[in-house]
Amino acid sequence: MKKFFPIIQLAFVAVVVFYGTFCLFRGDFVGAYSTFPLLLFYWVWFVARKRRKNLEKPDDPFSRREGDS
């Protein structure tokens, strides 16, 4: 199931980006604007949560180290 879940995430983002691009192409700015909260939801729910869990990794450029303010 862990290998299948990123495929679902990728499909979700691809469909939302395609829909937003299609709406912009048609001139439907309300439809294109409505995709922004979905992408923001994806970012907060999956990406930011994963980064918060991995704050202790030294290779993470967004991690806080001792001495940083």
The string of pLDDT tens digits covering residues 24-43 is 899 888 888 888 888 888 87
Domain count across the chain? 1
65, part of any domain: no
32, part of any domain: yes
58, part of any domain: no
Residue 62: the pLDDT is 60
Contact 21, 31 (CB under 8 A): no
- Looking at the chain, how many residues does it have? 69
Residue 64: the pLDDT is 60
Kindly report whether the global pTM for this prediction surpasses the value 0.75: no
Residue 54: the pLDDT is 66
33, part of any domain: yes
62, part of any domain: no
24, part of any domain: yes
Residue identified by tokens 């930011």 is 48
Range of the domain at 41: 5-53
40-57 pLDDT, tens digit per residue, is: 888 777 777 777 766 655
What's the rounded Cα separation, in Å, for the pair 7 and 58? Answer: 27
